[in-house]
Amino acid sequence: MTLSLDALNEASLSDVVAALGAVFEHAPWVADAAAKGRPHATVQALFAGMRAAVEAAPEPSRLALLAGHPELAGRPARAGAIAAESIAEQAAAGLDRLSQPEYARFEALNASYREKFGFPFILCVKRHGRASLLRTFEARLANDAATERATAEAEVFRIAAIRLNALVRGEGALRTTGRISTHVLDTVQGRPACGVAIDLVEWVSATETVLVAQAVTNADGRTDAPLIGGRPVPIATYELRFHIGDHFRQAGLDLAEPPFLDVVPLRFGVADPEGHYHVPLVATPWSYQTYRGS
């Protein structure tokens, strides 16, 4: 359920803390401090107040905020013994569906990280695919203590921004979402390609892919909604698979069987989770091209 910023500005202190207390993991004092600075003209201003409260907090409170985050794919997470928001975030990243060797890898990484830095590894998992998540985890183990402390706090703010944006509607929303979209053009007939089935998959490894979305193009050659939208686009390698052969068959073109082009794969990388990745296909039965559009 979302709440309006206007309503939060008028609500009692206890109601604001109840509504926003979980934005920062196990730290309702952040919502309490920000609420005392009301009214906030925008969601951005509300978040700035919460961030300022963290940055002004004494060292024990800031360390407790880091320590309150759960380990990724740790035993408490697997048992459902962590905050509901964290359960949902880890599940969205597929961390509740790992193999036993993968769980063992996370356990080893978690243990090494906690031994070196004294708090759990914190990452905004909604911004990462599984391969990126593991790659980032391993890379950050090489950081010095000061760098990693700053990095961990920055990730806390990323997590909180996404949670707040999902909870509060109003002017000045935070930039926390990205998009993957596409558009198919049939240059033989000189018009948008309607009825093209499209699969979007994420490459987890050289041998493993995960289906992310499926859609069919409309009369404008586009999908009715973005293939990913309304959330960060996880950092990952993706592939769009366009079933263009079926489109040209249905158009009545005299094609050989099997056709020269049947399913066209376009593999691309996403490095900016809040970016717009528009990946169109311009095709004939014998050729195609693509580009990053807008």
* pLDDT one-digit tens code per residue, 204-213: 988 999 999 9
Architecture of domain 178-289 in this structure = Sandwich (2.60)
Which of 112, 134, 110 is closest to 121 using CA atoms?
110
pLDDT for position 247: 94
More confident residue, 2 or 147: 147
CATH no. of 3-169: 1.10.3330.10
CB neighbours of 72 closer than 8 A, spacing ≥ 6? 90, 95, 106, 110, 120, 121, 123, 125, 133, 137
Which position has the higher pLDDT, 191 or 251? Answer: 191
pLDDT tens, residue by residue, 101-147: 888 999 999 999 999 999 999 999 999 998 999 999 999 999 999 99
pLDDT at 28 over 90: yes
C-beta neighbour count of 191 within 10 angstroms: 12
Cβ-contact 3, 15 below 8 angstroms: no
Statement: residue 1 has pLDDT above 80: no
Q: What is the pLDDT of residue 84?
A: 87
Q: How confident is the model at residue 77 (pLDDT cuts 50, 70, 90)?
A: confident
**Cβ-Cβ contacts under 8 Å for 130 (sequence gap 6 or more):** 93, 94, 95, 204, 236
The structure's pTM equals 0.91
Residue 102 confidence (pLDDT)? 86
Q: Taking the domains of the chain in order of start, what are their residue ranges?
A: 3-169, 178-289
Looking at residue 95, its pLDDT comes to 86
The confidence score (pLDDT) of residue 262 equals 95
Residue 88 has pLDDT above 90, yes or no: no
- pLDDT greater than 80 at residue 8: yes
Structure tokens at 266: 């376009």
Give the pLDDT band (50/70/90) at residue 97.
Answer: confident
CB contact set of 163 (below 8 Å; sequence gap of 6+) = 22, 23, 85
Give the model's pLDDT for residue 92: 83
